[in-house]
Amino acid sequence: TANTVASIPPALLDRMEVIRISGYTEEEKLNIAMKHILPKQLKEHGLKEKNLKISQNAMESIIRNYTREAGVRELERNIANICRKATKRIVEENVKIVRVNQGNLHKYLGVEKYLTDMGEREHQVGVATGLAWTAFGGETLSIEVNSMKGTGKLHLTGQLGDVMKESAQAGISYIRANSKVLEIDENFHEEMDLHIHVPEGAIPKDGPSAGITMATASISALSNKPVNKDIAMTGEITLRGRVLPVGGIKEKILAAHRIGIKKVLIPFENKKDLEEIPDKVKKSMKIVLVKTMDEVLEHALLKEGDKDENI
């Protein structure tokens, strides 16, 4: 098994059959931790259930802020670490029960390793929330676009790979061909420069799935229309504005759910992937299937008088 095929030599990979298995959801990790990992670690450290109590909130915090993985290996290491320190307290301080909650978790595991992205806090011009898939699961990406006076140059930053750069260029070509309909100055490509940036520049990024997000943020910047902060999206864009299917839909939707996104736009051809989404997640957000950029913009760009609850 492997977390990513990128590190497997092509000659060897060519002789393999690749079977992709989705990572655990946060809810699945919580159940595994409470029902299996914790009892196992208590036994291995000579503790009884009454000796150590880890609250559900603390366990959720361990999953979100101390691990970043598709499985539960690092989660088990953290629980074992807590068990060791609890055993030490019981022996040295003669306490009968150790309680671990969200408030004192840092005393056992130190400062949080990963901060949970809470998404955009307000509607902004030129900022759209995209969804990405990594070996560790789904992630959200805040894609930023600035427009400024210039000569039509396109600047791309954030350690973007070739496929992602080409996707951005395809989006700009779509905008140029449809500038009148989009209510954008037809000469923007001669008089304006665009700078597209994907934050966390130290992390390499690639793939076509941010195509509609980069296009939406660019249209927002050029038309001065804000993007709804409660919407996230994923999909490849073509020169004609079609939205093509992408991978990792389950992980991406779970990432959006984790930060409280209310509506997710995904390609129509990914409809089959919705069967993998837990019912609890589907009931908590609106998942919209889109075929074209027109549909994406209808949902994503705010019009005058729009409010958060009207999404």
The 10s digit of each residue's pLDDT in 264-287 is: 999 999 999 999 898 888 999 999
Residue 71 is predicted with a pLDDT of 85
Residue 29 is predicted with a pLDDT of 92
Residue 50 is predicted with a pLDDT of 94
Residue 307 is predicted with a pLDDT of 54
Torsion of CA 262, 181, 267, 311, to 10 degrees: 10
The 10s digit of each residue's pLDDT in 74-130 is: 999 999 999 999 999 999 999 999 999 999 999 999 999 887 665 557 889 999 999
For the chain, the structural domain boundaries read 5-109, 127-310
Residue 309 is predicted with a pLDDT of 46
* Residue 294, φ and ψ in degrees, nearest 5: -60, -45
Catalytic residue positions?
209, 252
Nearest to 267 by CA among 230, 238, 239: 238
Residue 251 is predicted with a pLDDT of 87
Residue 205 is predicted with a pLDDT of 82
Residue 310 is predicted with a pLDDT of 45
Q: Which two tokens stand for residue 59?
A: 């366990």
Domains 5-109 and 127-310 share a fold: no
Which residues of the chain carry a pLDDT beneath 70? 1-3, 116-120, 135, 202, 305-311
Q: Which two tokens stand for residue 161?
A: 């790979």
CATH class of the domain whose range is 127-310: alpha beta
Residue 265 is predicted with a pLDDT of 97
Residue 118 is predicted with a pLDDT of 56
- Please state which CATH number belongs to domain 5-109: 1.10.8.60
